Amino acid sequence: MDILKQLLGRLHPLVVHLPIGFIIAGLLLQFVDRKKKEFTKVISLIYLWGAYVAVLACITGYLQYLGEGYSFNSVKIHLWSGIATALCCFILWARLATVSFAAMLQKIPVLVISGLLFVLISFTGHQGGNITHGEDYLVEPLPNTLKAALGYPVFEEKEIVLSETDWESAVFYTDVIAPILNNNCVSCHNPKKAKGELLLHSEESILTSGENGPVLTAHHPEKSDLFLRMELPKSNDRHMPPDGKRQPSKEAIKLVETWIAKGHPFTTTIGELKLPKSLFAPYFPKSEVMDYPPTEIAAAATDSIHYVKNFGLHVAPISERTNYLKVSALNLPTFTNADAPYLNAIAPQIALLDLGGTQITDDICTALAKLPNLTRVQLDHTQLTGSQLEQLKSLQYLKSINLSYTNFKEEYLSVLTEFKALEKVVLFNPEHHKTGTEYMNHGKTAVEYGNYTLPVISSDSIVY
Amino acid sequence: MKSNVERLIAEKLQREVAAKTRRHFIKQCATGMGGLALGSIFMGCDPLRPQQAGTGTQNGFTERDLNPLATLPPPFSPRVKNVIYLHMAGAPSQLEMFDYKPELAKLNDQACPQSFLEGKKFAFIRGTPKLLGPQATFKQEGESGNWVSDNLPHFKKVVDEVAFLKAVHTDQFNHGPAQLFMHTGSPRLGRPSIGSWVTYGLGSENQNLPGFVVLTSGGKAPSAGKSVWGSGFLPSVYQGVQCRSKGDPVLYIEDPEGISRDLKKNTIKAINEINKKEYAKYADPEILARINQYEMAYRMQIAVPEVMNINNEPDHIKEMYGVEPGKESFANNCLLARKLVEDGVRFVQLFDWGWDAHGTDPSTAVDLGLKNKCREIDRPMTALLLDLKQRGLLEDTLVVWGGEFGRTPMQENREGKTMGFKGRDHHGDAFTMWMAGGGIKKGASHGTTDSIGFAGVDGRVSVHDVHATILHLLGFNHEQFTYDFQGRPFRLTDVEGEIIREILA
């Protein structure tokens, strides 16, 4: 008997579609027949059938509630509105079929009952859907802004904030593991969704929930499903998060493994656990190496860019993300000091400039000093001696200067110590005697003299 | 009876055909053709997908319409602008160069445990082979203390400049497919090579030179043929241009006998005049593109032989690389690679043949022929790194070194027999590659292999991961860099690839 009850209960999601179908068919027929009133008998019969199957749906629904362990509170509204729908369906049948025992119904306009039935069937259906699919089923695909406007909770990404100085004082669970779980797992494993009956949103639930028992075994990541499932290859069906969903990084999985291996502590700091820095280094803020100043700049006018391009210089943005430009005289070896005014129109945007192999002389520095955002400049294979380099002192972003194969005079090197941002100077010249890399400005600026050689060694001539 | 039915059917068909007039045909064509056109108007299945690279318009058509090699900015801030890829065709033995396995030396000549062999396929090994200890002595070098064998005495000096990948793996164990996989992201034909992707995505800054140049040495082209620098489904203008280091750098680049440079110039001038008139009439950007191509080809006739001439290099540079002018050599190619990158060539691909150390004869023995191959590349590749460094080019260039797979810790036993020379079979489970240059963490070593060097145990990276990392350094997100072909977007990394952040600075 119990089996039958459960089986019937499980048929509820199927049976409910019958009253929906009949009622919608009845409503549509009423609309089609609104003038001629030829089908009233058929329509009333459809509503009678609708009422019968609505009762059946109510019974199976009640059995499902008993058999599947729903709390009464969660199904209450759906249950009562379902019964109301069945009742309303009977009333509409009685009104249309002009049944003798319900004569008083004839005073109510048909349209009112039909309208009520339509509202009831829609409402009940929606409530039922909410029970099986979750309340946010329809809202979930909406963009976050719209969800927030409708008053639904929004999935918030938690960032792992660690730094070079305070990483040891961070609490391992709260500051590292919780954000990893939140960003990769919690959207399915939360009190509302609870896939696999696993909840990963709070400390207690992580330890206790899960349909196959707890997912953590202290000190044994190799016995903990939480880690094992993430570690599996993506092609494996048991891999979590499922293929297609956001995946935790290799570093994050390693951290989860470490956390379990350390006995999944919730309050201990990283420093107390004596964990190596390398585990957390990927989360330290990175100072991105860029070839242009950190400030934003307005785009150069298209006309100006064309003007410079048509002259023969190569001009292009450094990347799609910035308006700073790279300008190169690669295809214009005839470029001279006198051509420098061509750069004026795009002067604020130039961050990379390659004038290597051109006819420029020391006086070009006057023009270069007018490029406030110049970050890297190549002046190699030219006649420069460095006598005017002093003028570039004002360029606060200038990071590297290439002066290889020039007539650079060592006496001007001291000028470069006053350059604030300078990291690299290339002075390679086969006619010089210096070799290798030297450092100045307290190690901040590397001076590359090059002139590397690979002396002949005995093995060079041994043929096996 | 049967023939009657047949006759009836035939008559029916006849009538049907007769009833169809030309008008019907044309009318039906209209829907069919319209449907076909609709497909391209809506960009395949996704009408919202942005169009292909370089479709910002100017005067109705793009710079790319006129010149397919026009530069485009990378989507993200790039760390390097050029790539030099050194491929040791035939697969160098990591166990005699970089992956030091003292444990393997102890197990020398012992039968390989069955656990390693189960479920594995080898190109030539049959039955139970014997383990073969490292046939070179290793030392830790530089400040990084990374292992390098005595086969590479010069390279030891620059070991702190490079980052090693010790546990690269591939799923191919034959040269052709493995080389294709390494360079196109697929072991089957038809995909564009890395260099093609990069030139398609970034274009080339030098107007007088191709954007993607290929140089080969070692006497043979790679087994996979020219497809390893092919453009696949990308427009063929992005394929690698193979330059020979002997004779004419590019075949047919010289003017034919009796045709002077002036005559050539006038011919191209005349053709372009006609083309310009055609353009005035039809305004088809294809015509402008063609005009550009003629002019570029004309300029290349001068520029290519010039850049490919190493004789003008000073002696101290020639000595550093150990070049052999007039011959085809890896040293010459390394020097050329530097010259090309210096002149703004985007992607330079070097293939050196002769690394297939099976041990079938002295030239392929890991203790004889392999040592010769190591000597041939040791000085040039070290010189290349130092030369790029002293010119300030290394920070803008990525140098990649590797083969298509690695070699077995076991001695090859072709046909199950003991062989006269010491050789190793093809092996894709773990091999070494290295990268150097802009954005690379100097002196890093990522990944480790098990005690005999059979498989990676930690830090395993796939061929796709290597590709993702190369594209990342050039300023691309490998997951977003796509080209539409056969109704879907294609990527170099297919549906895989993770950036190897461990070797990034």
For the stretch B118-128, pLDDT in tens is 888 889 999 89
Average pLDDT over residues B334-348: 95
In the predicted structure, residue B297 carries a pLDDT above the cut 90 = no
CA dist A222 and A226 (Å) reads 10
Neighbours of A263 (CB within 10 A): 13
The confidence score (pLDDT) of residue B182 equals 96
CA dist A461 and B372 (Å) reads 10
Name the DSSP class of A291: S
Whether A346 and A211 share a structural domain: no
Range name among A257-266, B62-71, B102-111, B411-420 with the lowest pLDDT average: B62-71
Residue with tokens 């009845």: A26
Whether A222 and A321 share a structural domain: no
- Residues above pLDDT 90, as percent of chain A: 52
* A288 min Cα distance to partner chain B (Å): 9
pLDDT digits 0-9 by tens, B204-223: 999 889 899 999 998 888 88
Query: Chain B partners of A380 at a C-beta cutoff of 8 Å?
Result: 391-392
In a domain, A202, yes or no: yes
The verdict on a CB contact (< 8 Å) between B320 and A330 is no
Interface test with A, best of B363, B372, B390 (most A CBs within 10 A): B390
Q: Give the nearest partner residue to A319 out of B77, B208, B392, using CB atoms.
A: B77
The confidence score (pLDDT) of residue B260 equals 86
The confidence score (pLDDT) of residue B55 equals 42
Residue with tokens 């199950």: B416
In a domain, A147, yes or no: no
Average pLDDT over residues B339-359: 95
The confidence score (pLDDT) of residue B47 equals 44
Query: Which residue from A291, A377, A286, A136 is spatially nearest to B76, judged by alpha carbons?
Result: A291
Name the DSSP class of B112: P
CA dist B437 and B398 (Å) reads 5
The confidence score (pLDDT) of residue B46 equals 47
Taking a C-beta distance cutoff of 8 angstroms, is the pair B181, B317 a contact?
Answer: no
> Could you tell me the domains of chain B?
69-249+308-503 (3.40.720.10)
The verdict on a CB contact (< 8 Å) between A319 and B371 is no
Confidence class for position B42, pLDDT limits 50, 70, 90: low
- At B491 the three-state DSSP class reads strand
The verdict on a CB contact (< 8 Å) between A428 and B369 is no
Alpha-carbon separation of residue A71 from A74, A85, A131, A211, B297 (angstroms): 6, 22, 11, 19, 80
Whether A258 and A364 share a structural domain: no
Q: How far apart are the first and last CA of chain B?
A: 86
Crossing angle of helices A110-133/A17-32, nearest 10°?
150
Q: Give the nearest partner residue to B207 out of A331, A400, A430, using CB atoms.
A: A331
In the predicted structure, residue B449 carries a pLDDT above the cut 80 = yes
Structure tokens of B345?
């060539």
Whether A277 and A314 share a structural domain: no
pLDDT digits 0-9 by tens, A194-236: 788 888 888 888 888 888 888 889 899 999 999 999 988 877 8
What residue spans of A141-209 are helical by DSSP H?
144-150, 178-184, 203-208
CB-based contact (8 Å) between A428 and chain B?
yes
Q: Give the nearest partner residue to B369 out of A330, A448, A464, using CB atoms.
A: A464
Taking a C-beta distance cutoff of 8 angstroms, is the pair B315, B305 a contact?
Answer: no
The confidence score (pLDDT) of residue A153 equals 65
pLDDT digits 0-9 by tens, A359-412: 999 999 999 999 999 999 999 999 999 999 999 999 999 999 999 999 999 889
Work out the angle at residue A308's Cα, subtended by the Cα atoms of residues A303 and A311, and round it to the nearest 5 degrees.
Answer: 125
Give the β-pairing of B397-402 and B431-437.
Answer: antiparallel
In the predicted structure, residue B53 carries a pLDDT above the cut 80 = no
Structure tokens of B268?
């191209």
Taking a C-beta distance cutoff of 8 angstroms, is the pair A305, A346 a contact?
Answer: yes
In a domain, A389, yes or no: yes
The verdict on a CB contact (< 8 Å) between A328 and B314 is no
Who's near A78: CB < 8 A, 6+ residues apart?
A: A61, A124, A127, A128, A131
Q: Give the nearest partner residue to B73 out of A319, A380, A426, using CB atoms.
A: A319
Alpha-carbon separation of residue B280 from A235, B61, B269, B274, B286 (angstroms): 57, 15, 16, 10, 12
B127 CB-contact burial (10 Å; exposed 0-12 / middle 13-18 / buried 19+) = exposed
CA dist B364 and B421 (Å) reads 8
Taking a C-beta distance cutoff of 8 angstroms, is the pair B163, B441 a contact?
Answer: yes
Whether A277 and A311 share a structural domain: no
CB-based contact (8 Å) between A359 and chain B?
no
pLDDT digits 0-9 by tens, B160-183: 999 999 999 999 999 999 999 999
Confidence class for position A278, pLDDT limits 50, 70, 90: confident
In a domain, A156, yes or no: no
Whether A72 and A199 share a structural domain: no
Query: Chain A partners of B371 at a C-beta cutoff of 8 Å?
Result: 464
Whether A307 and A445 share a structural domain: yes
What's the CATH code of the domain at A338?
3.80.10.10
* A154 min Cα distance to partner chain B (Å): 27
Residue with tokens 């690379």: B440
Taking a C-beta distance cutoff of 8 angstroms, is the pair B376, B86 a contact?
Answer: no
- Residues above pLDDT 90, as percent of chain B: 61
Domain that holds residue A307: 302-450
Confidence class for position B362, pLDDT limits 50, 70, 90: very high
CA dist B465 and A287 (Å) reads 24
In a domain, A295, yes or no: no
The verdict on a CB contact (< 8 Å) between A331 and B208 is yes
pLDDT digits 0-9 by tens, A78-132: 999 999 999 999 999 999 888 877 788 888 888 999 999 999 999 999 999 888 8
Who's near B331: CB < 8 A, 6+ residues apart?
A: B321, B322, B323, B324, B376, B379, B380, B383
Confidence class for position B388, pLDDT limits 50, 70, 90: very high
The amino acid at B39: G
> Residue A39 phi/psi, 5° resolution?
-105, 15
The confidence score (pLDDT) of residue B294 equals 85
Structural domain ending residue among the three candidates A229, A250, A283? A283
Q: Which residues on neighbouring strands pair with residue B116, listed in sequence order?
A: none
Whether A96 and A189 share a structural domain: no
Whether A390 and A339 share a structural domain: yes
* B303 min Cα distance to partner chain A (Å): 11
The confidence score (pLDDT) of residue B56 equals 42
* A358 min Cα distance to partner chain B (Å): 13
Query: Chain B partners of A449 at a C-beta cutoff of 8 Å?
Result: 390
Structure tokens of A204?
């207690």
Give the β-pairing of B406-411 and B424-427.
Answer: antiparallel
Query: Which residue from B241, B184, B234, B246 is spatially nearest to B213, judged by alpha carbons?
Result: B241
The verdict on a CB contact (< 8 Å) between B73 and A451 is no
Query: Which residue from B101, B66, B482, B135 is spatially nearest to B284, judged by alpha carbons?
Result: B66
pLDDT digits 0-9 by tens, A145-158: 777 777 776 667 78
The confidence score (pLDDT) of residue A287 equals 61
Task: Walk across the sheet containing A350-354 and list its strands.
Answer: A314-317, A325-328, A350-354, A376-378, A400-402, A424-426, A445-450, A436-440
In a domain, A346, yes or no: yes
Taking a C-beta distance cutoff of 8 angstroms, is the pair B402, B434 a contact?
Answer: yes
Average pLDDT over residues B378-396: 95
Q: How many helices (H) and strands (E) does chain A have?
A: 14, 8
The verdict on a CB contact (< 8 Å) between A404 and B390 is yes
Whether A312 and A357 share a structural domain: yes
Q: Is the ipTM, as predicted for this complex, more than 0.85?
A: no
Confidence class for position B60, pLDDT limits 50, 70, 90: low
Average pLDDT over residues B230-251: 84
Neighbours of A291 (CB within 10 A): 22
Query: Chain B partners of A325 at a C-beta cutoff of 8 Å?
Result: none
Structure tokens of B497?
């690839």
Q: How far apart are the first and last CA of chain A?
A: 89
Per-chain mean pLDDT for chain B: 89
CB-based contact (8 Å) between A288 and chain B?
yes
The verdict on a CB contact (< 8 Å) between A320 and B76 is yes
> Residue A127 phi/psi, 5° resolution?
-60, -45
Neighbours of B275 (CB within 10 A): 16
The confidence score (pLDDT) of residue A78 equals 94
Domain total of chain A: 3
The verdict on a CB contact (< 8 Å) between B153 and A282 is no
CB environment A392-411: b (16+ within 10 A), e (fewer): beebebbbbbbbbbbebeee
The verdict on a CB contact (< 8 Å) between A464 and B79 is no
The confidence score (pLDDT) of residue B106 equals 93
The amino acid at B104: L
Q: Which residues on neighbouring strands pair with residue B435, listed in sequence order?
A: B163, B400
In a domain, A143, yes or no: no
Average pLDDT over residues B366-389: 95
A455 CB-contact burial (10 Å; exposed 0-12 / middle 13-18 / buried 19+) = exposed
Whether A27 and A110 share a structural domain: yes
Determine the distance from the C-alpha atom of residue A149 to the mean position of all C-alpha atoms in its chain, rounded to a whole number: 21
In the predicted structure, residue B372 carries a pLDDT above the cut 90 = yes
Range name among A443-457, B38-52, B162-176, B442-456 with the lowest pLDDT average: B38-52
Query: Chain A partners of B339 at a C-beta cutoff of 8 Å?
Result: none
Whether A179 and A50 share a structural domain: no
In a domain, A338, yes or no: yes
pLDDT digits 0-9 by tens, B4-18: 888 888 888 888 887
The confidence score (pLDDT) of residue B38 equals 66
